[in-house]
A and B are shown apart, each in its own frame.
Chain A
């Protein structure tokens, strides 16, 4: 009997004014009873619009049916037939634009809480189930994967299951890529990321940290070393700056630096951990994507009194996930929309003491289809802030394209691939994720990793 409630079973969360002082996870997750109740809202549509909206095609109605029948482990098996990182996707996917955006229940009321249910099944499995030892027949072929973020880990997981020997090369001391250094603990607990990666390592993937491809070893050297294919999933790690005066003042961070200090280096526990981060009383975060929301909410948790999102377009164009914007507002983040910084101001010692901001109005749509901001002349004003975090996007890291002859890239640095196979211009080399698209989402990177794995398998097994 379907549950015809027009709203989702509410997600238990820490109170906004409690959680904005700690780094524990904001949403605490459904209980079994809540999950079964929410699962009963699914109408089990024949044509499965939700699955079509999923970049990795999880058979969503099937896993929801299992939850409704109290078969939680069965639900997990259904999800993992297509998605190697369900605990992560359940938390960070922009469901409103994907599966839930297509859900029939969403036409009248809220869609089924697919993300919440996916998270429930994954968390249930982690808490209760022993992972079953899998016997994989080796096929004697070797694939190298560059980067251990969502694209690389997914590609590696798919290939190891097909019998390949897979080595993942990670530049940092810890695997996970953006899941480790970028997304904060309160949104994606690091213990959970470690566990998902461990699952893949247990299948036999050799994860080598501290190897910078493009420096420690090149793509050509990997090929010469006997790898039959290379997948590049090196992400978009190069921070963009505004190129306005004052950006090198003390107290100005790229969002990458700020978040890496806090997430990867655990600066929120300083001085218990030795890597520091410095946060002032008044913080301006420039930008309004997911990274900007993460930076703003992190700044608040570190003790900043006033944290501003400074964004040059309006509410309608906000690129962050709806839930992140909602949570940020609940936690007291102040939105200064239609505002664009013109300069960062410093004191005699070289520290930030304010930003000069110009108000904007919206003009004609630009290339991205969003209405473009136009400065309002004479509207400049000063905001008193002592910390500025620049979160206006990242570009692909140049180390690999600079050291890999024959690898064609876009003018802005993205690696060019054939869309169906993720094959690059260089024989045997594939790429996917942010290094191809520029900064995008975890699930799109996973989709690309999966597609590349299928193409690599098709190519390498055709030779037999």
Chain B
């Protein structure tokens, strides 16, 4: 059992928890993820690590309430425990420490896994900027925390309630057109957003890493459910990733594979009278 030391509501659907998890906290690096089960018979759900504290042996996760299991997780309060919490899984993100100026691009809850990556780059002396996007203002998260080390924090919302009205790619395009000297981009968010970012960066040859979060069960290479095509090769996101070269990822296939259990996700809610 793993204790919830802190819980914070970031907006209507996004929450943060700090979990006591010594094995994970001792070894995890930016880019790695955990799998948790809220209770007995629960689903195994993968979540990218947002932050960690080696001394206190804690790990921070940020999740969006999107389905049955994240709703159950959200019912837990500070001081409660969750059944299982395993990690760190995946490879540490291959961060571009030799880059001079990096732009991070986050969509929605994707800001959470982006945060430790940009912070690690900043700590090694790389200049970092960030663009954070969301449907509306409340979905733009962690802006204050990014501001602690990013030279510039740009915001974009679909409805214009915060920052620029439009997509993160609109902000990115504008920055690039105005001569920003980025030599690496890291995009983390919905597949459609990461694909759009690569649509901007690939033609100009701006190297772009992305972080994938496909359907998986064990997270150790055993089920193969998370297979993705990268550079024409089948890779397992859980052990070979989750970070990949965005230029090489077959996003269309990823988007299709993400729908494998769409009907069941619906049944799961109805079947339980929700």
Chain A residues proximal to chain B, CB less than 8 Å: 171-173, 181, 209-212, 215-217, 237-239, 241, 247-248, 250-251, 253-254, 256-257, 260-261, 264-266, 270-276, 278, 349-350, 397-399
Is A216 touching B88 in the complex (CB atoms < 8 A)?
Answer: yes
Is B23 touching A237 in the complex (CB atoms < 8 A)?
Answer: no
Select A216's contact among B27, B259, B271, beta carbons within 8 Å.
B27
Binds A, one of B115-123, B151-159, B185-193, B216-224: B216-224
Is A248 touching B23 in the complex (CB atoms < 8 A)?
Answer: no
Residues on A with C-beta less than 8 A from B267 are 270-271, 276
| Least Cβ–Cβ distance between B128 and chain A, in angstroms | 27
Interface size on B, residues (CB 8 A): 44
Main secondary structure of the interface of B (DSSP, over half): mixed
Select B87's contact among A212, A256, A261, A397, beta carbons within 8 Å.
A212
Given A241-B224, A250-B256, A171–B264 Cβ distance below 8 Å?
no
The answer to whether B204 has its CB under 8 Å from any CB of chain A is: no
The answer to whether B81 has its CB under 8 Å from any CB of chain A is: no
Residues on A with C-beta less than 8 A from B44 are 173, 265, 275
Is B218 touching A172 in the complex (CB atoms < 8 A)?
Answer: yes
Given A239-B222, A250-B259, A210–B84 Cβ distance below 8 Å?
yes
Annotate B246-270 by CB proximity to A: 1 below 8 A, 0 otherwise. Answer: 0000000100110111011101101
Is A399 touching B272 in the complex (CB atoms < 8 A)?
Answer: no
Is B41 touching A257 in the complex (CB atoms < 8 A)?
Answer: no
The answer to whether B42 has its CB under 8 Å from any CB of chain A is: yes
Residue of A nearest to B220 (CB): A171
Is B43 touching A274 in the complex (CB atoms < 8 A)?
Answer: yes
Alpha-carbon distance between A248 and B85 when the two chains are bound, in angstroms: 29
Residue of B nearest to A239 (CB): B224
Select A210's contact among B69, B86, B257, beta carbons within 8 Å.
B86
Given A256-B222, A274-B42, A278-B261, A265–B87 Cβ distance below 8 Å?
no
18 more contacts with CB within 8 A, not counting A270-B271, A276-B268, are: A171-B220, A173-B44, A210-B86, A212-B86, A215-B89, A216-B24, A238-B221, A239-B223, A248-B228, A250-B260, A260-B222, A264-B217, A265-B217, A271-B267, A271-B268, A275-B217, A276-B261, A397-B222
Alpha-carbon distance between A122 and B191 when the two chains are bound, in angstroms: 52
Is A398 touching B27 in the complex (CB atoms < 8 A)?
Answer: no
Select A398's contact among B41, B83, B239, B261, beta carbons within 8 Å.
B239
Is B239 touching A275 in the complex (CB atoms < 8 A)?
Answer: no
17 chain-A/chain-B pairs, Cβ below 8 angstroms:
A171-B218, A210-B86, A212-B89, A215-B88, A216-B23, A216-B27, A237-B222, A238-B222, A239-B222, A250-B256, A256-B223, A257-B225, A270-B268, A271-B270, A276-B267, A349-B256, A397-B220
Is B224 touching A266 in the complex (CB atoms < 8 A)?
Answer: no
Alpha-carbon distance between A237 and B260 when the two chains are bound, in angstroms: 23
The answer to whether B234 has its CB under 8 Å from any CB of chain A is: yes
Residue of B nearest to A402 (CB): B239
| Residue of A212, A247, A256 most packed against chain B (CB within 10 A) | A212
| Least Cβ–Cβ distance between A397 and chain B, in angstroms | 6
The answer to whether B37 has its CB under 8 Å from any CB of chain A is: yes
Given A217-B23, A261-B217, A278–B260 Cβ distance below 8 Å?
yes
Residues on A with C-beta less than 8 A from B259 are 250
Is B268 touching A216 in the complex (CB atoms < 8 A)?
Answer: no
Residues on A with C-beta less than 8 A from B263 are 278
| Least Cβ–Cβ distance between B235 and chain A, in angstroms | 11
The answer to whether B97 has its CB under 8 Å from any CB of chain A is: no
The answer to whether B229 has its CB under 8 Å from any CB of chain A is: yes
Residues on A with C-beta less than 8 A from B149 are none
Residues on A with C-beta less than 8 A from B23 are 210-211, 216-217
Alpha-carbon distance between A241 and B256 when the two chains are bound, in angstroms: 20
Residues on A with C-beta less than 8 A from B69 are 274
The answer to whether B68 has its CB under 8 Å from any CB of chain A is: yes
Residue of B nearest to A240 (CB): B224
Is A248 touching B227 in the complex (CB atoms < 8 A)?
Answer: yes
| Least Cβ–Cβ distance between B161 and chain A, in angstroms | 34
Is A399 touching B239 in the complex (CB atoms < 8 A)?
Answer: yes
| Least Cβ–Cβ distance between A332 and chain B, in angstroms | 26
Residues on B with C-beta less than 8 A from A271 are 264, 267-268, 270-272
Residues on A with C-beta less than 8 A from B271 are 270-272
Residues on A with C-beta less than 8 A from B225 are 253-254, 257
Report B52-88 residues with CB < 8 Å from chain A CB.
Answer: 68-69, 83-88
Is A216 touching B224 in the complex (CB atoms < 8 A)?
Answer: no
Annotate B87-118 by CB proximity to A: 1 below 8 A, 0 otherwise. Answer: 11100000000000000000000000000000
| Least Cβ–Cβ distance between A263 and chain B, in angstroms | 11
Report B142-197 residues with CB < 8 Å from chain A CB.
Answer: none
Alpha-carbon distance between A351 and B132 when the two chains are bound, in angstroms: 34
| Least Cβ–Cβ distance between B271 and chain A, in angstroms | 3
Is A274 touching B222 in the complex (CB atoms < 8 A)?
Answer: no
Is B83 touching A173 in the complex (CB atoms < 8 A)?
Answer: yes
Residues on B with C-beta less than 8 A from A257 are 217, 223-225
Alpha-carbon distance between A285 and B143 when the two chains are bound, in angstroms: 50
Alpha-carbon distance between A216 and B89 when the two chains are bound, in angstroms: 8
Given A248-B229, A276-B268, A278-B261, A254–B224 Cβ distance below 8 Å?
yes
Alpha-carbon distance between A238 and B89 when the two chains are bound, in angstroms: 15
Is A270 touching B264 in the complex (CB atoms < 8 A)?
Answer: yes
Alpha-carbon distance between A82 and B267 when the two chains are bound, in angstroms: 48
| Least Cβ–Cβ distance between A262 and chain B, in angstroms | 11
Top 4 A-B residue pairs of the complex, sorted by shortest distance between their CB atoms: A271-B271, A276-B264, A257-B223, A350-B256
Residue of B nearest to A267 (CB): B264
| Least Cβ–Cβ distance between B66 and chain A, in angstroms | 13
Is A171 touching B86 in the complex (CB atoms < 8 A)?
Answer: yes
Residues on B with C-beta less than 8 A from A350 are 253, 256-257
Given A212-B220, A274-B68, A278-B261, A217–B234 Cβ distance below 8 Å?
no
| Least Cβ–Cβ distance between B210 and chain A, in angstroms | 18
Residues on A with C-beta less than 8 A from B42 are 274
Residue of B nearest to A253 (CB): B225
Given A171-B86, A217-B23, A273–B41 Cβ distance below 8 Å?
yes
Residue of A nearest to B268 (CB): A271
Alpha-carbon distance between A237 and B236 when the two chains are bound, in angstroms: 13
